[in-house]
């Protein structure tokens, strides 16, 4: 058994099932259902440390009257239609904010969601490790170990996270969410893992604006990296040096 | 003395009978729904009965932290395959006692926490 390779993630998690029994399960699964393997190869590991996913939002194309991205996000993740006792506790995975420069009077409208910081303060303060950053830069809440203390909500300078106060039913299959845990934009991690784009990007394009660009910030040849070099976009509260993954052009 | 001996023998027989019942009970399926389930699971039923929670937990950490999403040990795959249709022809939620997970969990009095966040009915995962 010593030279049998087990998946690296089986280590150090305190799993009660032994490696031997897991291996037995793999063999059993293969015997029972040919063609189905228990563990896919390394290609299945979607969180790739060589990538860093990010967004570039062109605020010159974004209009204060349009909230297609917010609507699409709510429908995709099932947070918009929740009736609740207190509207001020409504979840906000993404929201539209209108800003105005007092010096020039210039206005802009922009969607604000989790900025997927490279140095996320929500991860720093989380007492259980539930708030974490994936290898590819996506900042997530592991609701299995979230205790609902909401320190991360206090630490986030962008007010990106919200707390689920009431019982939830009828969740979307790819988007579990439940009472007593914190939630935020997950950059549509299920879609991204499947090779897709976040739903807000598609919704913005569908609304005829194409203001949101999604891509790999670590790839100098990607469309988003080229645009960032070209237009020198800003990042919100860049003075905090959190190295956010969401860029805004035209503010 | 005879009385005491008779009592001891009676107690011994009773204990043997109880043990026999327990032994017989251990080998049988915990619920009719489980026994009659058509089709094949990712592993055989006795293994799944004992280890499904470990498979799910192992898969859960891989998926949330590593983005590894194979189909066969996901909770979505479980509730999709094991969906029980209600009177209206739609799959019942975990609020219904006929729900596949509940049939056993009610019997064994083990609270299942999965569905406080996850949906308990099949759907197209996105």
Q: What is the ipTM of this complex?
A: 0.76
Query: Which residue range is the domain that position A12 belongs to?
Result: 8-44
Kindly state whether residues A28 and A129 are assigned to the same domain. no
Name the band, by pLDDT with cuts 50, 70 and 90, for residue B71: confident
| Residue A169 domain-assigned (yes or no) | yes
Kindly state whether residues A77 and A175 are assigned to the same domain. yes
| Residue A215 domain-assigned (yes or no) | yes
Find the closest chain A residue to B57 by CA distance.
A15
pTM of the model: 0.77
Kindly state whether residues A70 and A32 are assigned to the same domain. no
Tell me how many domains chain A contains: 2
Q: Do B42 and A193 touch (CB under 8 A)?
A: no
Kindly state whether residues A152 and A217 are assigned to the same domain. yes
Residue A216 has φ and ψ, to the nearest 5°, of -90, 115
| Residue A32 domain-assigned (yes or no) | yes
Kindly state whether residues A92 and A132 are assigned to the same domain. yes
For chain A, how big is the Rg over CA atoms in Å?
Answer: 20
Kindly state whether residues A168 and A100 are assigned to the same domain. yes
| Residue A135 domain-assigned (yes or no) | yes
Cβ–Cβ < 8 Å for A36, B40: no
Chain B nearest C-alpha distance from A173 (Å): 5
B45 touches chain A (CB under 8 A): no
Name the band, by pLDDT with cuts 50, 70 and 90, for residue B11: low
| Residue A58 domain-assigned (yes or no) | yes
Would you state the pLDDT for residue A88?
81
Kindly state whether residues A108 and A202 are assigned to the same domain. yes
Cβ–Cβ < 8 Å for A113, A185: yes
| Residue A242 domain-assigned (yes or no) | yes
| Residue A1 domain-assigned (yes or no) | no
Q: Do A32 and B41 touch (CB under 8 A)?
A: yes
Kindly state whether residues A39 and A57 are assigned to the same domain. no
CATH (domain of A75): 3.30.70.20
Chain B nearest C-alpha distance from A239 (Å): 29
Mean pLDDT of A106-119: 96
Instruction: Please count the residue pairs, one from chain A and one from chain B, whose beta carbons lie less than 8 angstroms apart.
Output: 119
Chain B interface mutation, best of A139, A169, A183, A199, highest count of B Cβ atoms under 10 Å:
A169
Kindly state whether residues A30 and A58 are assigned to the same domain. no
Mean pLDDT of B89-118: 90
Q: Do A47 and B55 touch (CB under 8 A)?
A: no
Q: Residue A107 pairs with which residues in a beta bridge?
A: A100
In Å, the largest CA–CA distance within chain B is 76
């Amino acid at each position: 058994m010593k030279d049998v390779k087990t998946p690296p993630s089986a280590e150090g998690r305190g799993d009660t099932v032994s490696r031997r029994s897991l291996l037995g399960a793999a063999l059993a699964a293969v015997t029972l259902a040919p063609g189905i393997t228990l563990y896919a190869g390394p290609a299945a590991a979607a969180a790739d440390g060589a990538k860093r996913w990010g967004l570039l939002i062109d605020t010159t194309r974004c209009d204060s009257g349009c909230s297609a991205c917010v609507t699409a996000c709510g429908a995709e993740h099932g947070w918009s239609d929740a009736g609740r006792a207190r509207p001020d506790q409504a979840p906000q995975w993404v929201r539209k904010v209108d800003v105005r420069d007092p010096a020039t009077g210039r206005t802009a409208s922009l969607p604000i969601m989790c900025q997927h910081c490279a140095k996320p303060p929500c991860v720093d303060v989380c007492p259980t490790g539930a708030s974490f950053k994936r290898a590819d830069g996506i900042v997530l809440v592991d609701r299995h170990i979230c205790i609902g203390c909401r320190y991360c909500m206090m630490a986030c300078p962008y007010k990106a996270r919200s707390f689920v106060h009431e019982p939830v039913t009828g969740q979307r299959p790819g988007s579990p969410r439940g009472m007593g845990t914190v939630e935020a934009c997950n950059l549509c991690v299920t879609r991204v893992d499947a090779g897709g784009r976040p739903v807000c990007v598609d919704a913005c394009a569908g609304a005829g604006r194409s203001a949101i660009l999604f891509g790999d910030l670590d790839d100098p040849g990607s469309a988003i990296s080229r645009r960032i070099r070209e237009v020198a976009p800003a990042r919100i509260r860049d003075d905090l040096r959190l190295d956010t993954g969401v860029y805004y052009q035209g503010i | 003395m005879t009385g005491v001996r008779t009592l001891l023998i009676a107690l011994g027989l009773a204990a043997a009978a109880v043990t026999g019942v327990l032994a017989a009970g251990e080998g049988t399926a915990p619920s009719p729904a489980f026994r009659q389930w058509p089709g094949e699971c990712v592993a055989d039923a006795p293994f799944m009965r004992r280890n499904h929670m470990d498979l799910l937990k192992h898969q859960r950490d891989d998926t949330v932290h590593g983005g590894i999403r194979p189909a066969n040990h996901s909770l979505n795959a479980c509730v999709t395959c094991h969906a029980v249709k209600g009177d209206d022809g739609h799959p019942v939620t975990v609020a219904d006692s006929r729900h596949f997970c509940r049939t056993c969990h009610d019997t064994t009095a083990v609270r299942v926490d999965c569905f406080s966040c996850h949906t308990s009915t099949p759907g197209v995962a996105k």
